[in-house]
Structure 1
Amino acid sequence: MRYLFPFLSFLLFTTSAQAQSAQRPGLSVTPLNKQVYVHTTYGMYGGTAVPANGLIIRTKDGIVLVDTGWDTDNNTDNTRELLQWISQNLHQPVRLCIVTHGHEDRVGGISELRKAGVRVVSTPLTAQKSVKLGFESPEGILSNDTTFSIGNEPIRCYFPGQGHTADNIVVWLPNQKILYGGCLVKSVAAFGMGNLADANLNEWGNSIQNLMTQFKSARIVVPGHDEWTDTRSLAHTLQLLKKHAESKK
């Protein structure tokens, strides 16, 4: 990750006895710069522990989260640990959480955030899907292209089109030139398309092309799972989609 500042080469890593087991690692937090961190929690998928990424954004008026920890309706340990880490290390309140689509690796910790008094927002469609999955509903107030500022930090929530799900949005930080692609974007470390249960494979490629046009100045692109490098992850997603289509012929 050549865009990281030299003094950020270390990894901030924390675990708790409650969250960590032999099967599922605990929380890790990795700084991208002085203001933005990637939080990574783990869930079980196909019998394997899989990492899920989200963002922690520091502003002058508090913390903004992008996506909760990967939790279930009866176990919110990951999001609880995330809130504890922020309190102990950043010493700021969490003001808001933006959830990027209605799957448990994005919305699973809503109840824990609500207990802590954190406002959780999404698009109306994500709010509907969250309820269908058995989770509390975020406030479905985001339009398909919403920009707002918290603590002088502009944050853009953008729907580029269907792909991983019908409701997947991305988050753009223009001051940081960081694009959080969520599960619409596949890591360069990915060899397959992952969970396609709610995918629109016919539109996914068009949505990625839209991102490449809209956010061509991105220095870092953070996918929903696995490692992040630079904008090669967008091109890699297109390659994976092409391979998947060819395998179905």
Structure 2
Amino acid sequence: MKKILFLLVVGSIFCGCNFSKVKEEGEQYVSDNLVIDKISDHVYTHMSFFNSESFGKVACNGMIVLDDGQALVFDTPADNEASEELINWVKGSLKAEIKSVVATHFHDDCLGGLQAFHSHGVPSYANQRTIDLAKEQEIVLPQNSFEEFLELNVGDEKVNVEFLGEGHTRDNIIGYFPTEKIMFGGCLIKEINATKGNLEDANVEEWAKTVKKVKAKYPETSVVVPGHGKLGGAELLDYTISLFE
């Protein structure tokens, strides 16, 4: 995470928008709290905003996988208000039921809005390491755990959720949608030209090794969505490896 995210990423998206109103045109939804973009037939990104004492206002990415009237959400928006907005948008605009929400690590930019999903009866999933770390923070906990690998259904599609090692945190996981070869890398993966960002809970010695495992496991990845910043291709994996080697 870094201060220029808001200027480079959010500013470029929002230029010319009226923030006091909700805007929904074609394949994009924009409000004060939330931005949703369609990136493929089955996949949308969502972006919300987290106020950090160290980095200021930070744009945080998540991902939605959609099929046959069902949806899976990777990472909640940063708070319950934005999460409620996302849930209502999925129900109203996509005419879909959210079948599950997955927190990719224990920081607020991944599960800060978890209570909103629970209030709507949406089951939540996380690595057991995430749940253990979240318990120490005395925050809302994901309901279902896994250790290394989890396969979740979305309509007739399947989505992989996997822990391949430590990096940004001890518990960071990735999501992968095989049908369209799209990866949600979360905060394990950096956008091009990003700095190392928040290392408070990081394992910098293992970070590059973990991303090498991700790249080896999913060599056909065509799109990568990082936890913050612009999405790209497999070059984001290579950039992250080089940043921490």
TM over 0.5: yes
- Structure 2 counterpart of 1:204, one-letter code: W
What is aligned with 1:199? 202
Check the 8 A contact 1:147/1:154 in 2, yes or no.
yes
What is aligned with 2:64? 56
Among candidates 222, 225, 239, match of residue 222 of structure 1: 225
Q: How far 1:47 sits from its partner (Å)?
A: 5.2
Q: Distance in 1 between matches of 2:177 and 2:186?
A: 14
Among candidates 179, 200, 216, match of residue 175 of structure 1: 179
Q: Distance in 2 between matches of 1:140 and 1:94?
A: 16
What is aligned with 2:166? 162
Q: How far 1:59 sits from its partner (Å)?
A: 1.9
Among candidates 12, 30, 33, match of residue 14 of structure 1: 30
Q: Using structure 1 for the length normalisation, give the TM-score.
A: 0.84
What is aligned with 2:107? 103
| Percent of aligned pairs with the same amino acid | 27
Check the 8 A contact 2:69/2:95 in 1, yes or no.
no
Q: Distance in 2 between matches of 1:148 and 1:85?
A: 22
For the aligned residues, what is the CA RMSD?
1.6
Q: Distance in 1 between matches of 2:203 and 2:237?
A: 17
Among candidates 30, 41, 48, match of residue 41 of structure 1: 48
Q: What residue ranges of structure 2 are gaps of 5+ in the alignment?
A: 1-24
In the TM superposition, what whole-angstrom CA distance separates every residue of 1:215-237 from its partner, at most 9, and x where no partner exists?
11000011100111111111111
Q: Indicate whether 1:118 and 2:136 are aligned.
A: no
Q: Using structure 2 for the length normalisation, give the TM-score.
A: 0.85
Q: How far 1:179 sits from its partner (Å)?
A: 0.9
Check the 8 A contact 2:48/2:78 in 1, yes or no.
yes
Q: Distance in 1 between matches of 2:143 and 2:206?
A: 26
Q: How far 1:84 sits from its partner (Å)?
A: 2.0
